[in-house]
Amino acid sequence: MAAPTTPSSRDSLADMADRTESSIHIDAKPGVVLDVIADFESYPEWADEVKRATVLSEEGDGWADRVEYTLDAGVLKDTYTLDYEWDIFDDGTGVVSWSLVTATVLKAMNGSYTIAREKGGSKVTYRLAVDLYIPILGVLKRKAEEQIVDSALKELKKRVEG
């Protein structure tokens, strides 16, 4: 596959300035972490906010291109579709990025997982920028992003190491 780019080529300058970012260490090789990230239909088993995830299309390379989700993250509830890009090396390191295709409440949801090899396992960095059609205070929007990012990283770690 193509070499990863950092930041993701999908990140505009505006997205980079107005996004939430956090990292976590996971005691597993990058390929193991990537396998869990790529198994979208299992998300409802371990990601509390994801109530349903359905792969809509693949290009035959084994990676999902479009995935539809039903999300219930407290203040943020929606059914939406994301388009994925996979800039991953053979060892599982690299960037998985996504952008919003369709939604009801969400106007934008762009993000990425960056998986890097780290002593004793992997470092996973999650970046997320969300915009809503409904007016919401910036501090509340950021709080929702932080909740999603924090929960996703902790739940990913638990699933991989579990």
Segment 143-158 shows an average pLDDT of: 88
- For residue 120, is pLDDT > 50? yes
pLDDT above 60 (res 7): no
Q: Taking the CA atoms of the chain, what radius of gyration do you get in angstroms?
A: 15
151 CB-near residues (< 8 Å, 6+ apart): 47, 48, 49, 73
pLDDT at 116 over 80: yes
Residue 111 forms part of a structural domain: yes
CA distance 84 to 68: 11
Q: In sequence order, what are the residues at sequence separation of 6 or more whose Cβ sits closer than 8 angstroms to the Cβ of residue 10?
A: 85, 97, 98, 99, 110, 112
Within a domain: 149: yes
Query: What residues have CB less than 8 Å from 14, skipping those under 6 apart?
Result: none
Q: Is 133 part of any domain? A: yes
Is residue 93 a contact partner of residue 4, using CB atoms and an 8 Å limit?
Answer: yes
CA–CA distance, 83 with 34 (Å, rounded to integer): 17
The CATH number that applies at residue 61 is 3.30.530.20
3-state SS, residue 60? coil
Structural domain tally of the chain? 1
* 81 against 49, higher pLDDT: 81
Report yes or no on 7 lying in a domain: no
> Residue 105 — pLDDT band, cuts 50, 70, 90?
confident
Find, among 22, 31, 12, the residue nearest to 125 by Cα: 22
What is the reported pTM? Answer: 0.84
Is position 8 within any domain?
no
Residue-number span of the structural domain to which 53 is assigned: 13-161
